[in-house]
Amino acid sequence: MKGSASSQGGIILFFDGACGLCDRAVAWTWDRTNEDVRFAPLQGETAKRTLPSELRQPPYQSLVVFDGVQAFTEAEGLRQLGKELPAPWRPMMRVLTGWPLRSLTRVVYRCVAQNRHRWFSMQCRVPDQAERLLP
């Protein structure tokens, strides 16, 4: 599976499948991107075949973006994801993840990621479209 995201012209957004915030983020991203962005839970088979083991161990990163070659997390993952979003989200992500805000974005991201299970209840709102949702 390595290399498959870029060979298909897109990215894979890996998410914590047991996280209400991640579920909402996937639904939001799904609605604003095209079929070049695919989605897979960090607990799933695609993650096992694609990501290094340290990114697949609990506690899960709340977001991992794989571009077919490299996996990005936190602010760097948001920056990669931002490249797939339309305006006004694309430039907003660029600003939030660029200098000088990258450090602040990273701190806020880590705080939210550490508390996401407490702050957000689980509701599965991820659309079930097989071509974009990977196992």
Contacts of 132 (CB under 8 A, 6+ apart): 30, 35, 37, 38, 39
Work out the pLDDT band at 128, boundaries 50, 70, 90.
Answer: low
- Residue type at 88 in one-letter notation: P
The interaxial angle of helices 102-119 and 89-97, nearest 10 deg, is 110
Work out the pLDDT band at 119, boundaries 50, 70, 90.
Answer: confident
- What's the CATH architecture for 4-119? 3-Layer(aba) Sandwich (3.40)
Could you give the 3-state DSSP secondary structure of residue 89? helix
In the chain, where are the structural domains located? Answer: 4-119
Partners of residue 63 on adjacent β-strands: 15
63-97, pLDDT tens digit by residue? Answer: 899 999 999 999 999 999 999 999 999 999 999 99
Q: Which of 20-24, 25-29, 31-35, 41-45 has the lowest mean pLDDT?
A: 20-24
- The closest alpha carbon to 6, from 73, 83, 61, belongs to 83
For the segment 40-53, the average pLDDT, to the nearest whole number, is 95
pTM, 2 dp: 0.83
Q: What are phi and psi of 67, to 5 degrees?
A: -100, 10
